[in-house]
Structure 1
């Protein structure tokens, strides 16, 4: 909208137009041409006064006013040469080009057209008339005119017109980086943010998508953040219809993906909590409680689930350790829901009642919003859940605070359930979110100990689902993030946890090089010296037949060659006296690798290979005596 600054700018062109009108009326020479200038100046002055009383699109108004002022200043200088009072000698030496006055009339006509166009697009009564022509000010960039019109309609149009303009801006931003930058440069973000907060359902959805498409680079995302987009998304996620919430969650994911530095701003506006609520809705019961209740008030969900899973885990421990028994695995991963249900039933008898939980959830938004959510079709609710998982994935990338917030909520349990029962893209987003949280936990001891401790039933549920995906070995979009997550969690497993290594070793024989490489990297995290159970894990890799696969990969696996060599070095370093390593010819592989220039140039190989080779030579020499 037009502020006081733009209104004050109008004083200058109005004053110039009046001066041009007056001097043109007093002209002594070129009277017909000056009369034309006088008429145009009078018309322009009237339009500028009308503009001063209207609500205009500020940036465009300032641009048109500035150009109009320049034209009027030139017109004033021109008519001053034709005014009365000049003596004959001065008029003789004041020579005007023949086409100077007609050309100036044409320029004033252009200014009149531009100011008239500005008034038309700024009129609420004209917002449904479609496009209003191409102004002269946009002759070098026709699409700029379209962007201006839609931004102006967002300022002054009716609700339907604003919704249509938001959709059009979203389409333009989606189709072109250049158009997206123009929308930002022409101050289109502010009205989109306002319309996201106060528009109709369809308009809010379009505004959210437009903002998501605009945030396609760090600079653009910074602009959106400073314009208040984060608080607008938080408001929408709290009390808007389901379709709008889904669009907002998608936009949050887009902004976080293109500029991770905005993660903390979203976190400060409570966006993570709201996303977890939508993820948990109809996924696990009592999803309204964001944080686990402290032991001083009531038994936590984790402790209740643990109590109900102890007997199950004890009965199935031996069966789970034998991966070939698929029937036992299927029984194990299907126990998640029954465990959760019985745990919550037991918890409802404690100090936290169902009524309090329901009240907590309803406080997230007004009553009508909850009603709309329940009445929404399953496809829309599933899409919201997928977008919530997508946003949590993007927000969790490399952010310890957000990962801690997510793991302290029901989200980990939700991800486990959605990996098993989810439909569509929500399974992929859940896997990616777990992978990012595991990556952060790999380098943060406190997060590992709090979220993925071995006694945690939620952590066990997550591992069960990741392991089920890895064990199937189907090359799909879930396999690689599941492998990565298990590798990042390698330091959380106890020595008694023997079911992880086998499925990973089985993937070393995978035809897809990307899968084999990811499995090698994951196993390296189990076998490396930094893992306090490295000896146990190295023996488990050997027992699962990993040595033979690794030898083949070092010789023939072009994309995974160096990674396989590093893992083989760790195994040789920690279990050098293994007969299986001797039979697989590991020492010969290490000797061969030490002569390959492209391998020894890797700093990791350079530090590991000589010691591993020396250990193998030492122990094999003892065996031969």
Structure 2
């Protein structure tokens, strides 16, 4: 059997999966060493030798050794069977070496089946077995990766064994494994990011559904993978699938170059000017625009997806693919300036706004969350705000209109909260005349859902903080929209609501301290009470409480009210 194992490792033309070979060979070697030691004791004759053997050895030693050698024979027999190309699928039998940990045997067998050039159905079965184990238990996922499953799974993802089912099985298995940063880094180290992007662009729609889900899983847990996906231009196939049925005629009419300068051309000119002055950000943004995911994308799907395939696909398949692609875009934009820049160009915002307007359910939600992530990135990047989120830009205005519509019409907090957060992140792009957004947020200060009301207070605080150059005008608008009574009621809710409500009250007091509404609401007494109770002793809040109280005290004698 040892000779057969040697012939196996020497005859194969491809790299053999050697994890079980090394483990079992090491165990067999130890047992043979024990046997040799015992046999050597019996080699010589003589009275002293027999006396020594009687003292040091017994029948139990020989029986134990015999059992160990039998186990080694069984281990080798099992080992040779998992590499037998005539055998079907992975072996679910358990060799003695894995009797205390059966999962190890199943993982070894499945990976060996993936590694060898077997029939496609056997490789699919093995990938599905690994996926089932990986989705079942955290420890199993760790064992699968440690035992070297990622490289053969990536090979199966790339070639599929000649079938789409093989690619789907590999993508599903990798998705189950990609729930931890360390494991996603293993996928990336095996050049998996490039393989995933290639398969996403060149595969049938049913494969793209699983691969888009894999992109979303990897991007969700690993920020480095998000950037690597961006460098590999994964956004292009994702966007292609997302807008496959989208009517872009409205966009073409608005942005056609005939007679009017397009928004895209204006952006390019502005960036070119920045490049002329060696503006670093301008250089990077210009490069991003030139390789844009939406450039030359008029609803066409690249790669394998022919027009005939799209026409024959069921609405359910199309919806699932779009939903998964939107989910992947959401995950990829989270905290990523590079990916947010690529999506937040005029055509990108236009497409997202159209989907938010016309779709419902998960697809609409995932597109909304993509906008939220882009808005959060833009909050900390002035150049992205100026280029992508100009309220005068028709695509940006279309997105903002949809966000406002969701705030007003949607009753589901899962939709309301992220949209309110996005508006807050973009607070610095709104002029003093944009009262519609303010009034919609103020209305939610009185929302029955405390989390929604709290998020509205946080967003309004961003409109009124001193860093916002329209803070005074926005503060007046909030008071004119009857926001103070709603805000005072909110202060009796949860601790989180009270904390954020008090911060908003401070900003209003700092900018409109002479407001009659604040005096009637006894804002000064409320803030002084908060200071005494210790709520205002947080270092970042201490100064704004002090300034707010000072402003209110300056104007408290203006009104004949006992404050």
Same fold (TM over 0.5): yes
Of 91, 101, 112, the match for 2:62: 101
1:428 is matched with: 365
Asked if the contact 2:156–2:170 (Cα under 8 Å) also holds between the matched residues in 1, the reply is yes
CA distance in 1, matches of 2:339, 2:447: 35
Closer, same or farther: CA 373–197 of 1 in aligned 2, 3 Å: farther
Unaligned runs of 5+ in 1: 1-43, 305-355
Q: How big is the shift at 1:513?
A: 0.6
* Residue 548 (structure 2) aligns with: 612
**Superposition deviation, residue 154 in structure 1:** 0.9
Map residues 365-514 of structure 1 onto 2, 5 A cutoff: 365-366=303-304, 371-408=308-345, 410-514=347-451
Cα deviation, residue 79, structure 1:
2.4
SS in 2 for 1:495: coil
- Is the CA contact (8 Å cut-off) linking 1:47 and 1:112 kept in structure 2? no
Partners in 2 of 1:517 and 1:456 — Cα distance? 30
Q: Residue 178 in 1 paired to residue 142 in 2? A: no
Residue 588 of structure 1 deviates from its aligned partner by 2.8
Find the residue that maps to 1:262 and give its secondary structure: helix
1:562 aligns with 2:499: yes
User: Are 1:267 and 2:224 counterparts?
Assistant: no
Q: What is residue 533 of structure 1 aligned with on the other side?
A: 470
TM-score relative to the length of structure 2: 0.87
* Gap change, CA 1:371 and 1:358, over 3 Å in 2: farther
- Cα distance between partner residues in 1 of 2:189 and 2:128: 22
Note the alpha carbon deviations across 1:6-55, whole angstroms, 9 max, x for none.
xxxxxxxxxxxxxxxxxxxxxxxxxxxxxxxxxxxxxx344334433454
More displaced 10-residue stretch of structure 1: 513-522 or 263-272: 263-272
Q: Using the alignment, how far apart are the partners of 1:277 and 1:444 within structure 2?
A: 27
- For residue 46 of structure 2, what is the aligned residue in structure 1? 88
The structure 2 residue matched to 1:251, chosen from 198, 206, 214, is 214
**Are 2:353 and 2:402, in contact at CA under 8 Å, matched by a contact in 1?**
yes
Larger Cα Rg: Structure 1 or Structure 2?
1
Task: Look up the match of 1:145.
Answer: 105
What pairs with 1:162-241 in structure 2 (closer than 5 Å)?
162-199=123-160, 200-241=163-204
Secondary structure at the counterpart of residue 410 of structure 1: helix
- Asked if the contact 2:150–2:187 (Cα under 8 Å) also holds between the matched residues in 1, the reply is yes
Residue deviations 1:351-405, cap 9 Å, x none?
xxxxx9589956x414x65543442211111111111111111111111111111
104, 122, 130: which one aligns with 2:83: 122
- Map 1:296-307; keep pairs closer than 5 Å: 300=262
Tell me if structure 1 keeps the 8 A contact 2:407–2:416.
yes
User: 74, 93, 96: which one pairs with 1:113?
Assistant: 74
Distance 1:143 1:603 in 2: 53
Number of residue pairs matched by the alignment: 523
Q: Using the alignment, how far apart are the partners of 1:462 and 1:89 within structure 2?
A: 98
Measure the CA separation in 2 of the matches of 1:287 and 1:573: 45
Deviation (angstroms), 1:295: 7.7
Q: Deviations over 1:283-334 (max 9, x none)?
A: 3438999xx99989x9546579xxxxxxxxxxxxxxxxxxxxxxxxxxxxxx
Q: Deviation digits for residues 247-268 of structure 1, max 9, x if unmatched? A: 1111111112122222111112
Could you say which residue in structure 1 is the equivalent of 2:272? Answer: none
Question: How many angstroms apart in 2 are the aligned matches of 1:124 and 1:526?
Answer: 68
In the alignment, does 2:518 pair up with 1:577? no
Say which of 489, 493, 517 aligns to 1:552: 489
Do the aligned partners of 1:170 and 1:210 also contact (CA within 8 Å) in 2?
yes
> Normalized against structure 1, the TM-score is what?
0.78
Contact 1:47–1:116 (8 Å) recurs in 2: no
Conservation of the 8 A alpha-carbon contact between 2:240 and 2:299 = no
**Structure 1 position 207, deviation (Å):** 1.0
Give distance in 1, aligned partners of 2:40 and 2:298. 77
Residue 126 of structure 1 aligns to a residue in which SS?
coil
Give the superposition deviation at 1:563: 0.7
**How many Å separate the matches in 1 of 2:310 and 2:437?**
40
1:48 aligned counterpart, secondary structure: helix
Contact 2:247 2:299 in 1 (8 A): no
> What is the rounded CA distance, in whole Å, between the counterparts of 2:442 and 2:531 in structure 1?
25
Distance 1:54 1:498 in 2: 77
Note if 1:70 corresponds to 2:8.
no
Residue-by-residue CA offset, 1:61-112 (whole Å, 9 max, x unaligned): 11111212222222222323334xx353564355142233343232222222
2:270 corresponds to: none
- Tell me: CA distance 1:123–1:492, structure 2 relative to 1, closer, same or farther (3 Å): same
Is the CA contact 1:278–1:384 (under 8 Å) kept in the aligned structure 2? yes
Any stretches of 5+ residues in structure 2 without a counterpart?
A: 267-294
Alpha-carbon distance, 1:589 to partner: 2.2
Q: Tell me, yes or no, if the aligned pair for 1:435 and 1:482 is still in contact at 8 Å.
A: yes
What is the root-mean-square deviation in Å for CA atoms of aligned residues? 2.8
